[in-house]
Amino acid sequence: MENRNPTLIGVLAGALLIAVLAIGAISAALLARPATAQSQAIGVPGMRQITVVGTGEIKVAPDTANVQIGVETTAPTTQEALAQNTAQASAIIAQIKKLGVDEKDIQTSGFNISPTYSNDGRQVTGYSVGNQVSVTIRNLAQAGTLLDQVVQAGANRIYGVGFTVADLDATLAQARDKAVANAKARADQLAQASGSTIGLALVITENVGSSPVPPLAMMDRAVVTGGAPVPVQAGTQSYSAQVQITYELK
């Protein structure tokens, strides 16, 4: 009779038991696992439904502009550079207010002091002081004149001109209305093509975005001086809305 090794038999039996238990655990996990993402589609489980995406875009003429206006001065000492800069910056702000811009629409956006160096970069030759203010212009017809006047008052840095609309909520509401109408039209078309009709909207989600007019490039004093007001073209601003709607399908 063949001799059997009790130790080997015990090891094999233990391994078999572990394998059986592992298979049972995996099976139980599969049975208890929640439904997959595919079965958890947006809407009401068990109901015939259709999901569409609608978009809406509104183009409006901007009524507000924002511009960064600054002055940079250089002198042998920090005291001289700062004194010159303060005088010019004060004159610029006074001119902005004189043109009817409210004080709440003028905000300091930057201030810096830095050394200047010789051509070889080894010696400090002086100091440069920069002061910038962010100005909101609510009368766009006045924008060109304002830019011209602040340059005459001493501004030598103008950049970041951008446009927007004051009542943004109303503009986006119009874009949403168009997006919902577009989604419903798509759903109607698809439902009719399949011999069905749509019912109630079950789920609505939204994703809003806008595509602003690119800002104007930075201008220096030599460019914007010339007597006539600086031409400023606001163009149109585009605002868009996107919605995803799941409708009941009858």
Residue 67, judged by CB atoms within 10 A of its CB (0-12, 13-18, 19+), counts as buried
* DSSP tag of 119: T
Residue 128: its pLDDT value, please?
Answer: 96
Helix (H, G, I), strand (E, B) or coil at 244: strand
Tell me yes or no: is domain 64-164 CATH 3.40.50.300: no
Taking the C-alpha atoms of residue 172 and residue 31, their distance in angstroms, rounded to an integer, is 47
Contact 225, 154 (CB under 8 A): no
Residue 204: its pLDDT value, please?
Answer: 93
**pTM for the full predicted model:** 0.61
Residue with tokens 């079965």: 39
Residue 140: its pLDDT value, please?
Answer: 87
Helix (H, G, I), strand (E, B) or coil at 61: coil
Contact 152, 146 (CB under 8 A): no
Interacting residues of 209 by C-beta distance below 8 A, sequence separation 6+: 240, 241, 242
The β-bridge partners of 204 are 245
Superfamily of domain 49-59+169-211+241-249: Protein of unknown function (DUF541), domain 1 (3.30.110.170)
Taking the C-alpha atoms of residue 111 and residue 86, their distance in angstroms, rounded to an integer, is 11
Residue 43: its pLDDT value, please?
Answer: 63
Residue 207: its pLDDT value, please?
Answer: 80
Domain boundaries, the chain: 49-59+169-211+241-249, 64-164
Residue 214: its pLDDT value, please?
Answer: 43
Please give the helix or strand (H or E) that residue 4 lies within, else none.
Answer: none
Q: Mean pLDDT in each 10-residue stretch from start to end of the chain (250 residues)?
A: 51 51 51 42 73 93 92 95 95 93 93 93 93 93 89 90 88 93 95 92 79 43 51 80 93
Taking the C-alpha atoms of residue 51 and residue 146, their distance in angstroms, rounded to an integer, is 51
Residue 203, Cβ neighbours under 10 Å: how many? 14
